[in-house]
């Protein structure tokens, strides 16, 4: 079965307590459950979240040959060359995800080190951003 990593960065473990207008109401576990339901056994899913840059980089290195990676680097989107470089080495299909309309928010969120090493971006639709990305991957 093809393996897909769903990897989330800092503060994503606090979903449900973060500003709802940007991030919706689901907890991370509820979000992951929605993704599992959407997947319906199609891919082997590997879920990972960390608040630490190094842990995210190590996980990406471990998953370097996965078929697909759905990544929401959260605030590291705007600061991490290390995550970008790790992602660049990954050989599978890489999809950048954001719950919020990240390009329409503060100017500092317009800096994005991740986008050009990803194949496609899904953002601004809260949990639906992840579900759309998974559907996209299933159809390829
Ligand atoms: C986010 C957007 C980032 O700017 C922010 O730092 C996050 C979440 C999103 O999913 O909309 O933590 O990646």
- Catalytic (active site) residue 113: no
Q: Among the options 66, 76, 98, 113, which is catalytic?
A: 98
| DSSP one-letter string for 14-81 | GTTTS-HHHH-S--HHHHHHHHHHHHTTSSEEEEEE-S-HHHHHHHHHHTTT-SEEEEE-GGGGGT-H
Residue ranges and CATH numbers for the domains of the chain are 3-139 (3.40.50.9100)
pLDDT band at 45 (very low <50, low <70, confident <90, very high): very high
Q: What is the pLDDT of residue 71?
A: 98
Q: How much is the average pLDDT of 122-134?
A: 98
pTM for the full predicted model: 0.98
Q: How much is the average pLDDT of 5-31?
A: 97
CA of 8 to the centre of ligand 1 (A): 10
Q: How much is the average pLDDT of 17-31?
A: 97
CA of 1 to the centre of ligand 1 (A): 30
Q: What is the pLDDT of residue 44?
A: 98
Number of H helices, E strands in the chain: 5, 5
Residues with CB under 6 A from ligand 1: 11, 72, 74-75, 77, 98-100, 102, 109
> Can you say how many angstroms the Cα of residue 64 is from the centroid of all Cα atoms in its chain?
15
Q: How much is the average pLDDT of 4-29?
A: 98
Q: What is the pLDDT of residue 83?
A: 98
């Amino acid at each position: 079965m093809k393996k897909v990593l769903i990897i989330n960065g800092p503060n994503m473990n606090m979903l449900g307590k973060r500003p709802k207008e940007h991030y919706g109401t689901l907890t991370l576990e509820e979000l992951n459950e929605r993704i599992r339901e959407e997947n319906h056994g199609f891919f082997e899913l590997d879920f990972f979240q960390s608040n630490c840059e190094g842990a995210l980089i190590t996980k990406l290195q471990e998953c370097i040959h996965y078929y697909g990676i759905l990544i929401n680097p959260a605030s590291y989107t705007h600061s991490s060359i290390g995550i970008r470089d790790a992602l660049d080495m990954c050989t599978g299909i890489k999809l950048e995800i954001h719950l919020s309309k990240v390009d329409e928010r503060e100017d500092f969120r317009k800096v994005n080190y991740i986008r050009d090493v990803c194949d496609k971006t899904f953002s601004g639709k809260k949990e639906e951003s992840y579900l759309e990305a998974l559907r996209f991957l299933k159809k390829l």
